[in-house]
Chain A
Amino acid sequence: MICQQTGWGGQPIQTHRKGNLDTASRLTPVTDSRRLRITFNGSVSDVLPWKFTPQQREVRILPGETALAFYTATNKGPTDIIGVATYSVTPAQVAPYFSKIQCFCFEEQKLNAGESLDMPVFFFIDPDFVKDPAMKGIDTITLSYTFFKARYDDNGVLRPTISS
Chain B
Amino acid sequence: MSFGSPGGGAINYKPTPPERGSFPLDHDGECKHLISDYLKCLKTRNGVNDEQCRKLAREYLSCRMEKNLMAPDNFKNLGLEFKGDELGKNSKVSSISTRKDDNA
Asked if A and B bind, the verdict is yes
Q: Chain A 1-43 against B: per-residue CB contact (8 Å), 1 yes, 0 no?
A: 1010001100001011010100110011100000101000000
Additional A-B contact list (16), CB under 8 Å, known A16-B17, A117-B27: A1-B71, A7-B17, A15-B19, A23-B77, A27-B78, A59-B48, A68-B57, A92-B2, A100-B17, A101-B19, A102-B21, A103-B23, A106-B18, A110-B25, A120-B23, A122-B61
**CB pair B35 A70 closer than 8 Å:** yes
**CB pair A65 B49 closer than 8 Å:** yes
5 contacts between A and B (CB under 8 A): A13-B16, A27-B79, A60-B48, A109-B25, A115-B27
Inter-chain contacts of B71 with A (CB < 8 A): 1
**CB pair B17 A35 closer than 8 Å:** no
Q: Provide the main secondary structure of the chain B interface.
A: loop
Chain A contact patch, size range? 35 or more
Given contacts A101-B78, A122-B61, whether A88 and B15 have CB atoms under 8 Å apart is yes
Residues facing B in A88-146 (CB within 8 A) are 88-89, 92-93, 95-96, 99-107, 109-110, 115, 117-120, 122-124
Alpha-carbon distance between A90 and B76 when the two chains are bound, in angstroms: 29
Using a CB–CB distance below 8 Å, which chain B residues touch chain A?
1-2, 11-27, 29, 32, 35, 38-39, 42-43, 46-49, 54, 57, 60-61, 70-71, 73-74, 76-80
Q: Chain A 56-97 against B: per-residue CB contact (8 Å), 1 yes, 0 no?
A: 111111101111101000000000000000111100110110
Question: Which of chain B's residues has its CB closest to A101's CB?
Answer: B19
Inter-chain contacts of A23 with B (CB < 8 A): 19, 77
**CB pair A56 B15 closer than 8 Å:** no
**CB pair B18 A100 closer than 8 Å:** yes
- Min Cβ gap A81→B in Å is 13
- Min Cβ gap B32→A in Å is 6
Alpha-carbon distance between A89 and B12 when the two chains are bound, in angstroms: 11
- Min Cβ gap A140→B in Å is 11
Q: Tell which of A18, A62, A105, A110 touches B17, judged by Cβ atoms closer than 8 Å.
A: A105
**CB pair B25 A107 closer than 8 Å:** no
Alpha-carbon distance between A12 and B90 when the two chains are bound, in angstroms: 42
Question: Which of chain B's residues has its CB closest to A18's CB?
Answer: B19
Given contacts A60-B48, A66-B79, whether A101 and B57 have CB atoms under 8 Å apart is no
